[in-house]
Amino acid sequence: MNFLEKRIIKDGKVLSEHVLKVDSFLNHQIDPNLMLEIGKEFADRFANDGVTKIVTIESSGIAPAVMAGLFLKVPVVFARKKKSLTLNGDLLTASVHSFTKNETNEISISKKYVNKEDRVLIIDDFLANGQAALGLVDIVQQSGAKVKGIGIVIEKSFQQGTQILTKQGLRIESIARIASLENGEVTFINEKVE
């Protein structure tokens, strides 16, 4: 088990066969040291990809994305889920259905911050059915920039996201890969193979 998988076993709560709660270190309270380690891991995995920008989505993608940006020495842009007064001018938008909230949001990024010269690493906290990641890919592609890959903190490999994104030729790098949440237990992909 890697550092994140150990932390999930220690502090994660299985809410159902489909949902894992990690409020104590990622989704509500945030552990900065863990975020630093996650950021370093993403930076190592994408070290040779010429990444010029990281794109994530508010709110839980921001902490790991900022840490990855620190190590890769590139700026981080987060897509907003609600239009704000300060987010005006030319926007790139996509529609994203949220797995946990069961609602659809129009997400947006200002055209100012992603352009066709960029090579983008997309980062998010969870990968479930892939809708958030697909929305971000859509926005980045609208800008003319190239998607170099997708960094996921926790991938639930038993849901559809991984397959959908891989089929589109997108590279996914997930730090923890969950094979199952059955019987209230977290089983990781690596454990299953062993």
Q: Is 130 in the site for ligand 5GP (CB under 6 A)?
A: yes
Taking the C-alpha atoms of residue 15 and residue 149, their distance in angstroms, rounded to an integer, is: 29
Cβ of residue 181: shortest distance to ligand 5GP, in angstroms?
8
119-127 vs 146-156, strand pairing mode? parallel
Exactly one of 125, 145, 149, 165 binds ligand 5GP (CB under 6 A); which one?
125
Q: One symbol per residue from 133 to 172: x for binding ligand 5GP (CB under 6 A), - otherwise; what is it?
A: x----------------------x----x-----------
Q: One symbol per residue from 57 to 96: x for binding ligand 5GP (CB under 6 A), - otherwise; what is it?
A: ---x------------------------------------
Q: One symbol per residue from 14 to 53: x for binding ligand 5GP (CB under 6 A), - otherwise; what is it?
A: -----xxxx----x--------------------------
C-alpha angle 44-136-102 in degrees, rounded to nearest 5 = 115
Cβ of residue 194: shortest distance to ligand 5GP, in angstroms?
24
Q: For the sheet containing 53-57, what is the strand order?
A: 76-79, 53-57, 119-127, 146-156, 172-180, 187-188
How big is the chain by its Cα radius of gyration, in Å?
16
C-alpha angle 174-172-6 in degrees, rounded to nearest 5 = 5
Q: Among residues 41 and 124, whose Cβ is nearest to ligand 5GP?
A: 124
Cα separations (Å) of 170 from 125, 162, 177? 17, 9, 17
Q: Among residues 69 and 135, whose Cβ is nearest to ligand 5GP?
A: 135
